[in-house]
Amino acid sequence: MRIAILSDVHSNMEALEAVLRHAGRGGALDGMWCTGDMVGYGAEPGAVIGRLRELEAVCVAGNHDLVACGKLGVEEFNPSAGKAALWQGEQLDEDERGWLASLPLVRIEGEFTLVHGSLRAPEWEYLVDDEAADAQFERQTTRYSCVGHSHLAFDVTEVDGWPEFTDRGDDETVALGDGKLIVNPGSVGQPRDGDPRAGYILYDQAAATLTWHRVEYDIKSAQAKIIGAGLDTWLAERLAVGK
Ligand code: ZN
């Protein structure tokens, strides 16, 4: 079984299609998981939702998804992100908003728990430090968990009872073992680790490995759509620098 693990697609169709092409090179995918923020920031929320639904992706809701479907307000967003988040909802039809609203915050798939931020605060927490990782390990009932939200690609293991973060770049593979593990595939549609290429994880169930990948995509086209939609130009500019 080959499963693509995606997060933070953020309405970026170019990046999503590039990831799907890349993930499909080794044969058909048996599944796809998406740890939230399918929409937000980018120009094509409806197209991204349509594609993920067509692929029967297993998804959890992120903060941007909850704003777009009206389940969350924009009080905790910065002004430009808030404006873009509301714009996203306006582009969607009733059916698409209903699909977002139906998504759970947490779901368990085999040995993995999927959640956008963290199990302590699914919509909001950036799991990027030892304290947050400890809290996740405490709440995690499966051996492994997958998060998103920070748009950073990494894993966390427990070494002598302490969490240890390791950044993961292109083509890095980790073998799944007996110990607890937290992984973040990075962001498909808006990477923030200085590498503008779309990030995702390929999970090979038979081999029990996870491989992080980075995939080039047509950034200029995604930028042109953001500008064309009248969204904040910074949302287009940041795609080129991966910040
Ligand atoms: Zn996000």
Q: For position 86, what pLDDT does the model report?
A: 83
SS3 of 147, please? coil
Say how far apart CA 122 and CA 142 lie, in whole Å: 16
* 172-175 and 162-167 beta bridge pairing: unpaired
Q: What is the pLDDT of residue 82?
A: 78
Would you state the pLDDT for residue 132? 98
| pTM reported for the whole predicted model | 0.96
In the structure, ligand 1 is a single-atom ion and the residues with CB under 5 Å from it are 8, 37
Amino acid 163: pLDDT? 97
**Strand runs labelled E in the chain:** 2-6, 31-34, 58-59, 106-109, 112-115, 144-146, 153-159, 162-167, 172-175, 181-185, 198-204, 209-215
Give CA–CA dist 204/208, Å, rounded: 6
| CA of residue 13 to ligand 1 center, whole Å | 15
Residue 123 confidence (pLDDT): 94
Residue 157: predicted pLDDT: 98
Below-50 pLDDT ranges, the chain: none
Q: Say if CB 104 and CB 60 are below 8 A apart.
A: yes
Q: Ligand 1 mean position to 133 CA, how many Å? A: 18
**37 Cα: distance to centroid of ligand 1 (angstroms):** 5
What pLDDT is recorded for position 26?
A: 82
Q: Are 241 and 36 in contact (CB under 8 A)?
A: no
Question: What pLDDT does residue 84 have?
Answer: 75
